[in-house]
A and B are shown apart, each in its own frame.
Chain A
Amino acid sequence: MGLFVPQSGPLLWLFIVGALLFGGLCLFLLTLAPPRARKPLIAAVTFLAGLFFAAEFFWPVATSGDNIGKNFLTPYLKPVSDMTTVLQAFALGVGIYSLLNVHLRAIARRRQGWGFSVVLVGSILAIAVPALWKEYDRENTVARGLYTLAYDGGFNALNAAMFSIVAFYIVSAAYRAFRARSVEATILLCSALVVILGQIAVGQALTSWLPAEGFAANFRLEILRNWILTRVNAPAVLAIELGIGIGALATSLRLWLSLEQGSYFEEEV
């Protein structure tokens, strides 16, 4: 486990350089491997990586003692998952390259709408520069102020604005969906009406004169709404999720065992 403990000082740099050298060596050896051997090699690595998570999930866990709910692989779960995070961090560079590649080209060639590209590149700098400055000079109030202005004042506000737009789109989509053009649309309209009215106080007041108990209580809007959600909607959703779960299991197996063929128009590596 010592290998997976966070390091500091000279040991940290040793680990970083070691990891880079090891990674580079692996890539170099992969390029030396004959093309016919590469695919089985990748399949073997995929299998071993998947085997770790499968074994960790299936291996019986301790039911008593200090390690309750854990097996011998559980302590390695976080370090192995962290490797994915590290890979993602490297990939962010690829993403930024992709983004800048498109937009700097647009600016350089004065393509239509290149002004938006200037805004985008400017926005990246406006967030990145104060964020890095703040990180390396934590006492600097100017850096903190700039970051708060750009992130909290700009980004968060824009984020909230985009989320709030969803409400308007729900109305426009619901308007189209609820037009009773077919039997299905009419059923949707009626059930939606019952659910909406059963959800709000004004709707519930419409049937409040019905007794709260006995057979007639079943026709109160809030009871009908509850019936639709728990007896009609929930089983349908659970059935969909069950199918999705089985589909995910099949896809995972194909990828893990490298059985996937033809989905990505794979070429010989």
Chain B
Amino acid sequence: MEHATGPTRWILLTFSIIIVWQVIRAQRGHRPFIRRIPGLTAIDEAVGRAVEMGRPILSSVGLGGIDIVTLQALAIVTNVAAVAARFGSRLLLPVRNAALVPVAEDAIRNAYNAAGRPDAFHEEDILFLSGEQFAYAAGIAGIIQRERVAATFLFGTFFAESLIIAENANQVGAIQVAGTPSTTQIPFFIVSCDYVIIGDEFYGATAYLTRQPTLMGSLAGQDLVKGLLLALILVGAVLLTANVPVVRNLFSDRDLASLAAYFLPTPEGR
């Protein structure tokens, strides 16, 4: 059972306050700059290609349950759905978690409504395949081969099935955009997909796509926190190298383990 130790408590609280402060600041009119992310700029290109070819688009939000990663992946896919609805393309979203079906249906339906194309939304395009990892992968591979999808958008938590999905899409010549916080799967996506968004780009994607002040403020907060963490790491490294005991006294091994457990979670699955 993980619990926050002294310094972890204050560090996380400070970081949270910084992020919320930046969100409020953005809501009050301050708009931070967001650099270009090629993988997300490619969404229009991929959807346009699907329309030209008259083939559907396939999305996946990975193997996760209803958690932060999957909800963020769904937010990205929802934005892809809005583009697909605008262009008049069909979007297929096979899911692995049954609880996600109504949530995904609602979000995608909203995206089609927002794009002014409620008629183009088909409930059966958001389908539950299987709760089992490889049955899900086999199901997606089958859909890719049968429908000859023109583009795939793979966002979320992935394990060994990432390569099965991406390589099958590669075989049918689909343009592929992927993004995952599962660091063990990033290399697989890099070698088999056209565009990959990595690291915190995954969490910055919705801000980039929607330009909503709340999301842009959150992104600015993330960058501030990252800068602060880098400064802490640098100062800590210098002080430790100079053998200044204050760092060792401030953070016990348990504190460092607690911080590491929060920021560097151990991946599960195979």
Interface residues of A, Cβ cutoff 8 Å to B: 56-59, 61, 69-71, 74, 77, 87-88, 91-96, 98-99, 101-102, 105, 113, 116, 155, 158-159, 162-163, 165-166, 169-170, 172-174, 176-177, 237-255, 257, 259-267
Known A99-B128, A243-B200, A250-B19: A162·B212 in contact at CB below 8 Å: no
User: Does B82 lie within 8 Å of A265, measured CB to CB?
Assistant: yes
Contacts of A174 in B (CB 8 A): 191
Does B240 sit at the interface, judged by CB under 8 A?
Answer: no
B65 smallest CB distance to A (angstroms): 7
Interface residues of B, Cβ cutoff 8 Å to A: 1-4, 9, 12-13, 15-16, 19-20, 23, 65, 68-69, 71-72, 74-75, 78-79, 82, 97-102, 106-107, 110-111, 113-114, 123-124, 126-129, 131-135, 137-138, 142, 146, 160, 163-164, 166-167, 170, 181, 183, 186, 188, 190-192, 198-200, 202-204, 206, 210, 212, 214-215, 218-219, 221-222, 225-226, 229, 262-265, 270
Closest to B112 in A: A265
Cα separation A267 to B110 with both chains bound (whole Å): 7
A72 smallest CB distance to B (angstroms): 12
Cα separation A237 to B265 with both chains bound (whole Å): 12
Cα separation A170 to B167 with both chains bound (whole Å): 9
User: Does B221 lie within 8 Å of A250, measured CB to CB?
Assistant: yes
Closest to B2 in A: A57
* A-B residue pairs, 9 tightest by C-beta: A95-B98, A247-B203, A91-B99, A245-B263, A243-B200, A162-B134, A177-B191, A263-B75, A95-B128
User: Does B3 lie within 8 Å of A91, measured CB to CB?
Assistant: no
Q: List 14 A-B contacts (CB under 8 A).
A: A58-B3, A91-B99, A92-B131, A95-B128, A159-B133, A169-B163, A173-B191, A176-B192, A246-B200, A249-B16, A249-B225, A263-B206, A265-B82, A267-B110
Contact of B101 among A95, A244, A255 (CB under 8 A): A95
Known A242-B229, A255-B71: A249·B15 in contact at CB below 8 Å: yes
User: Does A261 lie within 8 Å of B214, measured CB to CB?
Assistant: yes
User: Does A264 lie within 8 Å of B3, measured CB to CB?
Assistant: no
Contacts of B163 in A (CB 8 A): 166, 169-170, 173
User: Does A262 lie within 8 Å of B2, measured CB to CB?
Assistant: no
Contacts of B97 in A (CB 8 A): 88, 91, 95
Closest to A100 in B: B128
Contact of B218 among A170, A176, A250 (CB under 8 A): A250
Contacts of A101 in B (CB 8 A): 123-124
